[in-house]
């Protein structure tokens, strides 16, 4: 699906089904430097379960026009524009990593507009190591290697190469997309306040071996959300929707059906 926001082309993968107003809509929000591609094993599954699905490329990411938005606050406002444009009322939001911060800030700014919230490998506070930011700002490919070292339980498991390296391919992708996202995450300070705005049913999915959002940080985040559900996936790092896609999506579906 292609549409326009502020005269810029925006792409969202919808599994070729469009939006049926009679179905609930799940919106998938990717993490730093990534795109809709990371949800490829997830969106078709939920489309087959009778949901509308939209995996949105943020501005400057994937197939969407740039430039990138340089703060979580700006992304939250942009999401409201998207939802109004597509006439999405009370969507289910599923965010990974940086996408979790986007859900928090959206809930804070736009009260009671979320049906359910699912946080994948995220927290309310996501500081980024200065070494990683510096590498990314310099367009250094070591930034991606460092992300993989910190983010994966075992990156050698991926047949045909690491999917993140296939998305973040060039020095430009690193310096003009990934770096901006990492700084936005690092600069976001409203998470502890914004988490209080989550009044809808919420679920957290955490990777037991996640080094980017370690299990203790994830549990502290869960404790801040009233009546939330937490599911921990054993033997899994930060890239949950790729490492343990089948287990993750089945547990999310269980939560949505309750």
CATH, residue 28 = 3.40.50.1820
pLDDT at 227: 85
In a domain, 82, yes or no: yes
Helix (H/G/I), strand (E/B), else coil: 124: coil
In a domain, 43, yes or no: yes
Q: How far is CA 114 from CA 27, 91, 109, 253, in A?
A: 10, 6, 11, 17
Q: What share of the chain is helix, strand, coil (3-state, %, to 5)?
A: 45, 15, 40
Q: What is the pTM of this model?
A: 0.94
pLDDT at 155: 47
Per-residue confidence of the chain (258 residues) as pLDDT tens digits?
999 999 999 999 998 888 998 999 999 999 999 999 999 889 999 999 999 999 999 999 999 998 999 999 999 999 999 999 999 989 999 999 999 999 999 999 998 899 999 999 999 999 999 999 999 999 999 888 888 777 665 545 555 566 677 788 889 899 999 999 999 999 999 999 999 999 999 999 999 989 888 899 999 999 999 889 999 999 888 889 988 999 999 999 999 998
In the chain, DSSP assigns E strands to 2-5, 8-13, 25-29, 52-56, 92-96, 116-120, 202-207, 229-233
In a domain, 73, yes or no: yes
In a domain, 167, yes or no: no
For residue 151, report the phi and psi dihedrals to the nearest 5 degrees: -100, -20
Cα Rg for the chain, rounded, in angstroms? 17
In a domain, 87, yes or no: yes
pLDDT at 159: 52
Helix (H/G/I), strand (E/B), else coil: 108: helix
User: What CA–CA distance (Å, rounded) separates 148 from 145?
Assistant: 5
- Going by C-alpha positions, the residue among 109, 110, 91 that lies closest to residue 29 is 91
In a domain, 148, yes or no: no
Identify the DSSP state of 139: T
Domain that holds residue 12: 2-126+188-257
pLDDT at 158: 57
In a domain, 95, yes or no: yes
pLDDT at 167: 84
Give how many domains the chain has, as a whole number.
Answer: 1
Identify the DSSP state of 222: H
């Amino acid at each position: 699906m292609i549409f326009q926001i502020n005269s810029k082309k925006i792409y969202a993968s919808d599994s070729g089904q469009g939006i049926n107003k009679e179905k609930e809509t799940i919106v998938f929000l990717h993490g730093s430097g990534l795109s809709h591609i990371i949800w490829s094993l997830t969106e078709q599954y939920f489309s087959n379960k009778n949901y509308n699905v939209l995996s949105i490329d943020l501005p400057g990411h994937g197939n969407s026009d740039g430039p990138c938005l340089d703060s979580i606050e700006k992304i939250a406002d942009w999401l409201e524009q998207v939802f109004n444009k597509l006439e999405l009322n009370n969507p289910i939001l599923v965010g990974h990593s940086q996408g979790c911060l986007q859900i928090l800030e959206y809930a804070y700014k736009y009260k009671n507009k979320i049906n359910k919230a699912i946080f994948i490998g995220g927290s309310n506070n996501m500081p980024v190591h200065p070494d990683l930011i510096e590498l990314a700002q310099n367009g250094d490919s070591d930034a991606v290697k460092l992300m993989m070292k910190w983010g994966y339980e075992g990156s050698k498991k991926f047949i045909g190469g690491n999917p993140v390296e296939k998305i973040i391919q060039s020095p430009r992708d690193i310096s003009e997309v990934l770096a901006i996202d990492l700084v936005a995450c690092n600069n976001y300070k409203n998470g502890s306040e914004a988490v209080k705005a989550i009044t809808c049913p919420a679920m957290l999915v955490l990777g037991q071996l996640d080094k980017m959002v370690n299990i203790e940080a994830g549990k502290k985040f869960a404790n801040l959300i009233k009546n939330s559900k937490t599911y921990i996936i054993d033997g899994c790092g930060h890239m949950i929707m790729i490492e343990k896609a089948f287990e993750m999506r089945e547990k999310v579906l269980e939560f949505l059906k309750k």
